[in-house]
Amino acid sequence: MDEQFERAPVGILEVDPTGTVRAVNESADTLLEVGSAAVVDEPIGSVFPMSVEASVSQAFETPPEERLSVEEFYPDLDRWFEVTVVPADDTVFVYVRDVTDRHRLEQTLTQREADITRLTVINELISDVLAALVEASTREEIAETICTRLGETELYDFAWLGERELGTDDIAVRAASGATGRTLDNIESALGTGEDIPEARAVNTGQPEIVQPVGANDSVPTSIRRAAFADGLQSMLAIPLTYGSTVYGVVGLYTSEQDAFSSRERASFGTVGEMAGFAVNATRHQSVLLSDRVVELRLRITDRADPLVAAAAEHEASLSVDGLVPETETPLCYLTVDGAEPADVVESLAATEMIESIRVVDGTGGSVEVGLGGDSLLGRLLSRGGTVTSATFDSSGGTVTVDISPEEDLRRLADGVTRGFDAEVAAKRERDEEIVTPQAFRDRLSNRLTERQESALRTAYLADYFESPRESTAEEVAGALDITGPTLLHHLRAGQRKLLAEFFDLHEDHPRSQGQ
């Protein structure tokens, strides 16, 4: 055998025109894994591995007369080869080059491009869902918005949304959209009998559940697996609707694609679940604000597992809640400390995991700012749609008064507290909400302002002092009133404090509502 033939960097087979192998060089032996000595005088069809097209074997069905080049995949070797058949006089040379790495790189790039395209489409879809959620004003609109936007796309076959039934832990279907087929019917049946399904687990844990493939996963009831197989469904994702530590419901998303939900998609849909939970929570607070009747619950707690109860008992202090800001990511609570140094109370509260942040606002006045964790008593009430109207804590425990809409599930709100703490509902009553007209609000505020405070506020407002940028300086407004600049600022601050106290409904004897 020619030494150059034997040491060539590409695989070479020397074959006679009838397809009988005469020689195989070392590179071809390595690529084809055949054993060069054993294949001499063997037909090319038994030496060369089979591809789907079998192009090499077919090339020798008649003596080759023209050059042939192909790139094919060879399953037995899990490799891609570039094969060139070159006729030459009474011999045919077959050249073999391994191009697997190039093909795999191309496949990787193609897959990444497809993933990026899909992710872009999904992000646009999610942006549409989030934008539509902003416009939804009721829980029914929220459910319809999510299901319609997700279920009526080419990406997914159908979507359904479920919420807990009032007064129970059962989940009921509130909305659905898309080609639900037999699968949704069987999901509803499973919900009715309390079977363990992925969507129910997502509600119980507050974490997304993914099942791929649906038809062959034992965590899905048999009836749903069979229905999903019949409907051609391969993948599903259960998205809990969460706000803080509260789970309001779940979205079940189904598709016929295999392995449809990547980690990035799951993270994106997690945002949808959080935004939907936020929207549901907002509608619950809105129902309290707009209702002409509310249910008032008075809760009594003696459990020192709550940090405010524990701090009050430790320092034999009285802690009273001045106000809450629930709209922030971490709800803020403003306390007045009486009977102890605020710094000492802050040090105790900072040591508990239920407090996210804390600082002294006014050491002299005893004001403290607390960032509430979702597992704290007040955090649980806020996340379940309650409006805390008053709360006090002392060495004997705490008393919290909370308003909720009559439409809300009172038992679940109370259970959310009593399951985590030694607490009880001390009183419950319904009351009519006072309707305050704009004129009544202005009259009540005017009665609280002194003449000088009202004149200072009115003059500064009309002179565009409160605009940004200001059209009048403090000196110019003070000159118009024939008072000094410091006197003007004193009247403005006192008037603004009374205005804000009236707006945020602080009682008249509260220190923050007072002004000179």
For residues 481 and 472, the answer to whether their CB atoms sit within 8 Å is no
Ramachandran class of 448: left when φ > 0, alpha when ψ lies in -120 to 50, beta otherwise: alpha
Q: Is 457 helix (H, G, I), strand (E, B) or coil?
A: helix
- Is 87 a residue whose pLDDT tops 90? yes
Q: How many residues are present in the chain? A: 516
Give the model confidence (pLDDT) of 176-234 as tens digits. Answer: 998 888 999 999 999 888 888 999 999 888 889 999 888 888 889 999 999 999 999 99
Cα–Cα distances in angstroms (integers) from residue 90 to residues 28, 65, 97, 180, 382, in the given order: 21, 11, 23, 66, 90
Domains, the chain, with CATH or none: 3-98 (3.30.450.20), 106-288 (3.30.450.40), 293-432 (no CATH), 438-513 (1.10.10)
**Alpha-carbon torsion, ordered 446, 450, 451, 455, to 10 deg:** -80
Amino acid identity at 237: L
**Other CB atoms within 10 A of residue 479 CB:** 14
**Alpha-carbon torsion, ordered 264, 268, 270, 271, to 10 deg:** 150
Helix H, strand E, coil C: the string for 175-233 is EEEECCHHHHHHHHHHHHHCCCCHHHHHHHHCCCEEECCHHHCCCCCHHHHHHHHHCCC
Query: What does the alpha-carbon distance between residue 439 and residue 445 come to, in Å, rounded to a whole number?
Result: 10
Where residue 511 falls among pLDDT bands split at 50, 70, 90? very low
460, two tokens: 């500064």
Lowest mean pLDDT among 84-93, 249-258, 280-289, 490-499: 280-289
**Other CB atoms within 10 A of residue 69 CB:** 11
- Is 86 a residue whose pLDDT tops 90? yes
Give the model confidence (pLDDT) of 99-153 as tens digits. Answer: 999 999 988 887 787 677 667 777 777 777 777 776 776 778 888 888 888 888 8
Looking at residue 304, its pLDDT comes to 85
Looking at residue 168, its pLDDT comes to 60
388, two tokens: 């805390």
Looking at residue 224, its pLDDT comes to 92
CA-based nearest residue to 139, from 104, 106, 164? 164
**Alpha-carbon torsion, ordered 199, 202, 207, 209, to 10 deg:** -30
Q: What is the DSSP string of 38-84?
A: HHTTSBHHHHSPP-SS-HHHHHTSS---S-EEEEEEETTTTEEEEEE
Give the HSE-up count for residue 426: Cα atoms under 13 Å, Cβ half-sphere.
Answer: 13
Which helix (H) or strand (E) covers residue 134, if one does?
helix 100-135
Average pLDDT rounded to a whole number, residues 400-428: 77
Query: What does the alpha-carbon distance between residue 483 and residue 456 come to, in Å, rounded to a whole number?
Result: 10
Mean pLDDT of the chain: 83
351, two tokens: 């040591």
Which helix (H) or strand (E) covers residue 391, if one does?
strand 387-394
Give the model confidence (pLDDT) of 6-64 as tens digits. Answer: 778 889 999 999 999 888 888 888 898 887 677 888 898 888 888 888 888 888 989 88
